[in-house]
Amino acid sequence: MESITAQVGSSIVRLRMEETIRASEERFRRMFQYSAAGMVLTDTQMRFIQVNNEFCNMLMYSEPELIGKTFNEVTHPEDRKVGADLARDCWKANGKTSIWKNAICAKMSLFSGAW
């Protein structure tokens, strides 16, 4: 009898944890999608794997145009070293650092935004 009770209790705990994770993922998705700040998710090679609408608007690219590109591909060549250094610093800080950068981008003259 105790074994069944333990299994039921364990299942209830697991279901609550799964619901907590689902709710957290949904909050993150909404925050990312509806943020007034340009936001991106990158892989370890700094390729965009997800971009929000505001980031697309800042760079004047569509989402499909940006997915798979790197920051270097949308940053003016003269600004790439500075951008790479800032991105590296952000990775070292485990994403806890906000990076503000002025950059001349490939498709537009000038923008200022949070990376």
Phi, psi of 60 (to 5 degrees): 65, 40
Model confidence, pTM: 0.64
Distance of CA 7 to the CA centre of its chain: 38
Contact in structure between 38 and 58 (CB atoms under 8 Å)? yes
Phi, psi of 23 (to 5 degrees): -65, -40
Burial class (CB in 10 A: 0-12, 13-18, 19+), 83: buried
**pLDDT above 80 for 2:** no
pLDDT, position 1:
62
pLDDT, position 32:
87
**pLDDT above 50 for 33:** yes
